[in-house]
Amino acid sequence: MLYVGTSGWAYKEWKPAFYPESVKQKDFLRYYASLLNATEVNYTFRHIVSEKALAAWLTDTPPAFRFVLKAHQMITHIRRLKNADGIVERFCQSLQALSEAGKMGPVFFQLPPNFKADVGVLRAFLQTLPPGLKHAWEFRNTSWFTGETYQALADHNGSLCIAESETRETPKELSGAFLYFRFRKPEYADAEIKKIASELRELAQDRDVYAFFKHEEDPKGALWAQKALRLARQS
């Protein structure tokens, strides 16, 4: 299954190119979910989502929609994967409603650029995650891009985040049980979006694929995501 979206949806700056002027901000997610089938939630990097917010998310999205939650900064940036058992447990428990509704995608772990590879620490942390939890990892220090890292993720239901930006590109490691892409360049030509859509469609033939375009206060990312999903579905 192919899931495509952006990193967030609550941007009034997306009017009128993506959201029609008539759509109120409280209805943004409902409209977004009529065009795209996943979102990456950055809010959870600094906050725990309330039960009220989760209930609204579930009401405003169809059954096939998926939420990807970014792991809290206390786990990735402050504790740096060490002594984080209690925080991980609380974080995962807060997302229980999404899991029970079948709308939970992988948890997204993004490590800071100055966090150099330590596969021993990574493996020890992965053992603390709940069984069955899918998780994607964006390593922003190149020392992590090794077979040992990829094997550690594969052994624990994880996958490498394949991210591209104007300054960095992750190795295209496609061995995970699911695949996770982040498209962060400031511009994508039509030909690039068509190529991305074709590749995503092929990869999604035998496993779940998640792909997220940059959000920012500009509708371009949402429009690119919409076009990529539409093209991928046409064939």
Domain CATH for 125: 3.20.20.410
**Residue 212 near residue 225, CB atoms below 8 Å:** yes
Residue 210, strand partner residues: 3, 180
The radius of gyration of the chain from alpha carbons, rounded to an integer in Å, stands at: 17
C-alpha span between 204 and 125 (Å, rounded): 29
How many C-beta atoms lie closer than 10 Å to residue 85's C-beta?
12
Domain residues for 200? 2-234
Question: DSSP characters for 114-173?
Answer: T----HHHHHHHHTTSPTT--EEEE--SGGG-SHHHHHHHHTTTEEEEEEE-SS-B----
Number of structural domains in the chain: 1
| E runs forming strands in the chain | 2-6, 38-41, 66-70, 104-110, 135-138, 158-164, 179-183, 209-213
Query: Digits of tens for pLDDT over the chain (235 positions)?
Result: 999 999 999 999 999 999 999 999 999 999 999 999 999 999 999 998 999 999 999 999 999 999 999 999 999 999 999 999 999 999 999 999 999 999 999 999 999 999 999 999 999 999 999 988 999 999 999 999 999 999 999 999 999 999 998 777 899 999 888 999 999 999 999 999 999 999 999 999 999 999 999 877 789 999 999 999 999 999 6
